[in-house]
Structure 1
């Protein structure tokens, strides 16, 4: 029988272990800790089935999504991990306003059209 792929489970465990615990409530962290323990059991079990791995991924993802931020903590939740994602999104901070580019293009077009019309007369 084929062994299930446990990469996503390992990634989620690493993410859970890497969170800044000072930003979250103890009750929500306890849920995550419990699910990490269960996920580690599945991860270290060479006889784990595909269904067990998928269930552990789903429960750990649910626990991570259920983390509650403490009052006064600043947590960047702009790029949350969704179930089934294998790559974490990164916020680039790119905030360029396209109106400047479009305005410049419009002005350049008007000047070009005016010069062409003046040359034809």
Structure 2
């Protein structure tokens, strides 16, 4: 087994610390994708042109957020909220009836909140703390 020099230990500890600080949790975009799919599955002919135009505009914005790998949690939540509001604001054309009592389908996550990162943050904090302690121990013994 090769013994590491203090400089190598310090360098590894610094690299790990920099990596931890640069770590960014990616937001869960599943609900946004489901909302986009829901909007795309609606029939434009059933709704007034004005309310449909709002949905189309929000779908375009939401799609951009969905495809952006650097999108923040706040951007994802804002896109979800805006698209949900647009869908809820749809007005059926006179004479058209729109079924609003669609049953929940398997895999529909619109009523289930997912992507809670609380436990992940705690785990990463613990990992960082243990890494720092390990680095300090190695410095002490070398």
TM-score range, shorter chain: 0.5 to 0.7
Kindly tell me the number of residue pairs found equivalent between the two proteins: 85
Distance 2:82 2:102 in 1: 20
- TM-score when normalising by structure 1: 0.66
Name stretches of at least 5 consecutive residues in structure 1 with no aligned partner: 88-121
| Rg larger for | 1
Question: 1:86 deviation in Å?
Answer: 4.1
Aligned counterpart for 1:85 among listed residues 104, 107, 111 = 111
Runs of 4+ in 1 over 6 A off after TM superposition: none
Whether 1:9 and 2:35 are equivalent positions in the alignment is no
Aligned to 1:30: 53
Distance 2:67 2:60 in 1: 11
Distance 1:80 1:61 in 2: 17
Name stretches of at least 5 consecutive residues in structure 2 with no aligned partner: 1-23, 105-109, 114-142
Distance 1:86 1:73 in 2: 30
Question: 1:85 deviation in Å?
Answer: 1.8
- TM-score when normalising by structure 2: 0.56
The CA RMSD over aligned residues, in Å, is: 1.9
